[in-house]
Amino acid sequence: MTTTVTPASAGSAASPPSRAAVRLRTPRRPHSPGRPRRSVLLTVLTGLVLLYSLVPLVWLVISATKTQEGLSRSFGLWFDDDFALWDNIAETFTYGDGVFTRWLLNTLLYVVVGAGGATFLAVLGGYALAKFDFPGRRAVFAVVIGAVAVPGTALAVPTFLMFSTMGLTNTPWAVIIPSLISPFGLYLMWVFASEAIPTELMEAARIDGAGEVRTFFQVALPLLAPGIVTVSLFTMVATWNNYFLPLIMIKDPDWYPLTLGLNSWNAQAATAGGEPVFHLVVTGSLVTIVPLIAAFLLLQKYWQSGLAAGSVKE
């Protein structure tokens, strides 16, 4: 389960912004008199890391231009004679009665409801942890982190049996409900809210007679905006890339998310009478990550400032 709801799983290493980062309010430097000299050597060295990051993606893009046969016969990092990208994309969307479109829409549903809900719960929870002293407050986060440490694959069967009893398996809810929890999001919002919302402002609102709900929506929420964008991007990635949980919960291809659908295409090659469609797996993978990358690029400004929580001004 954790494999699906937190970026900390699957060998990831997530880290919320540090406390030190958050505390400091000094405006950002241009740090010394006179900008530092640009260094070719340093650029080249960092360029190696860049190359490392991009080569596999280049491979994916190039491979997506090849036919099933072309994939087998041509050099991995160069184009085949047939340029089939557009055909592949068209085939990806029409193959199997256009089931890919259905998977895409499912994924969108899971992302909007699941990641949206996860962000909302994390914002509420983080706000509570940061701004209220309530009984059990300290226990909450201890339990959250403790639970994350338990291997998620082993929880899959108990979760499946529970969900099955509740009649949730094979429905979108089986994917959405577990996606609603983002421990990392909760932590990020906690850190963010303690810095971004001055307690004085909340008190002023209360003196004006605003209830807790109105204080939250009118005073707190606008101040939390950059943090919300950041958390929603991370929950979006987690939901978009969710694989293990749907694998267990969803048996009806009509409710597959993209990752599971692609995997079923990949597995098709291993079936007696099945047709290998590696070219569609590759093209489908590309189509799957393009929206995420686009979202990251478009929203760069917001999430980067959200991460650097300290850059928020009151």
Partner 1 sequence: MQKHSRRLLRGIGLVCALALGATACGGSGDEGSGPKTVSESDVRAALDKGGTITVWAWEPTLEQVAADFEKEHPKVEVNLVNAGTNNDQYKALQNAISAKKGVPDVAQVEYYAMGQYALTEQLTDLTGFGADKLADRFSPGPWNGVKAGGEGIYGLPMDSGPMALFYNKKVFDKHGIEVPATWGEYVEAARALKKADPKAYITNDAGDAGFTTSLLWQAGSRPYRVDGTKVGIDFSDRGAKAYTDTWQKLLDEKLVAPVTSWSDEWYKGLGDGTIATLAIGAWMPANLASGVKDAAGDWRVAPLPQWQAGGTASAENGGSALTLPELGGNEALSYAFVEYANAGKGVDTRVKGGAFPATTAQLNSEEFRNTEFPYFGGQQANKVFAESAANVADDWSYLPYQVYANSIFNDTVGKAYVSDTTLAEGLESWRKASVDYGNEQGFTVEK
Partner 2 sequence: MTTLQPPAAAGPRPAPPPARRDRRSWTGWGFIGPFVAVFALVFLAPIAYSLHLSLFRDQLIGGTTFVGLDNYQQALRDERFWDALGRVSLFLCVQVPVMLGIALLVALALDSGRLYGKNFFRISVFLPYAVPAVVATLMWSFMYGTRFGLVGDLNDAFNISLPDPLSPDLVLAAIGNIVTWEFVGYNMLIFYSALRVVPNSLYEAAEIDGAGQIRVITAIKLPAIRGALVIATIFSIIGSFQLFNEPSVMQKLAPNAITTDYTPNFYTYSLSFSGQQHNYSATVAIVMGLITMVIAYVVQLRGMRKGV
Binding site for partner 1 (CB under 8 A): 68-69, 71-73, 138-139, 142-143, 146-147, 157-158, 160-162, 164-165, 167, 169-170, 247-248, 251-253, 264, 267-276, 278
Instruction: Tell me the C-alpha distance between 68 and 180, whole Å.
Output: 38
Instruction: Tell me the C-alpha distance between 285 and 92, whole Å.
Output: 10
3-state secondary structure of 251: coil
Spell out the residues 6+ positions from residue 96 whose beta carbon is closer than 8 angstroms to its own.
none
Give the nearest distance from C-beta 261 to partner 2 in angstroms: 11
Which residue is listed with tokens 């400032």? 305
Taking CB under 8 A as the binding criterion, the range among 84-92, 96-104, 156-164, 221-229 that sits at the site for partner 2 is 156-164
Instruction: Tell me the C-alpha distance between 186 and 231, whole Å.
Output: 9
- Report how many residues bind partner 2 under the rule CB under 8 A: 127
Binds partner 2 by CB under 8 A, chosen from 81, 86, 97, 133? 133
Instruction: Tell me the C-alpha distance between 152 and 141, whole Å.
Output: 18
Binds partner 2 by CB under 8 A, chosen from 111, 113, 115, 180? 180
Taking CB under 8 A as the binding criterion, the range among 86-94, 98-106, 221-229, 292-300 that sits at the site for partner 2 is 292-300
Taking CB under 8 A as the binding criterion, the range among 83-91, 97-105, 108-116, 261-269 that sits at the site for partner 2 is 261-269
Specify the amino acid at residue 216: F
Does 255 bind partner 2 (CB under 8 A)? Our answer is no
Which residue, 97 or 269, has its beta carbon nearer to partner 2?
269
Which residue, 248 or 308, has its beta carbon nearer to partner 1?
248
Instruction: Tell me the C-alpha distance between 19 and 264, whole Å.
Output: 43
- Angle, helices 278-298 vs 300-307, to 10°: value is 70
Residue 253 binds: one of partner 2, partner 1, none (C-beta under 5 to 8 A by kind): partner 1
Residues 199-238 that bind partner 2 (CB under 8 A): 199, 212, 216, 237
Specify the amino acid at residue 111: V
Does 138 bind partner 2 (CB under 8 A)? Our answer is yes
Specify the amino acid at residue 60: L
Instruction: Tell me the C-alpha distance between 67 and 77, whole Å.
Output: 15
Residue 313 binds: one of partner 2, partner 1, none (C-beta under 5 to 8 A by kind): none
Residues 32-91 that bind partner 2 (CB under 8 A): 32, 35-40, 42-43, 45-47, 49-50, 52-54, 56-57, 59-60, 63, 72, 75-77
Which residue, 97 or 247, has its beta carbon nearer to partner 2?
247
Binds partner 2 by CB under 8 A, chosen from 93, 99, 131, 268? 131
CB atoms within 10 A of CB 266: 17
Which residue is listed with tokens 């990208």? 85
Distance of CA 159 to the CA centre of its chain: 22
Specify the amino acid at residue 26: T
Binds partner 2 by CB under 8 A, chosen from 90, 105, 112, 293? 293
Instruction: Give which of 223, 240, 190, 241 is closest to 305, Cα–Cα.
Output: 223
CB atoms within 10 A of CB 228: 23
Binds partner 2 by CB under 8 A, chosen from 103, 110, 190, 265? 190
Which residue, 36 or 97, has its beta carbon nearer to partner 2?
36
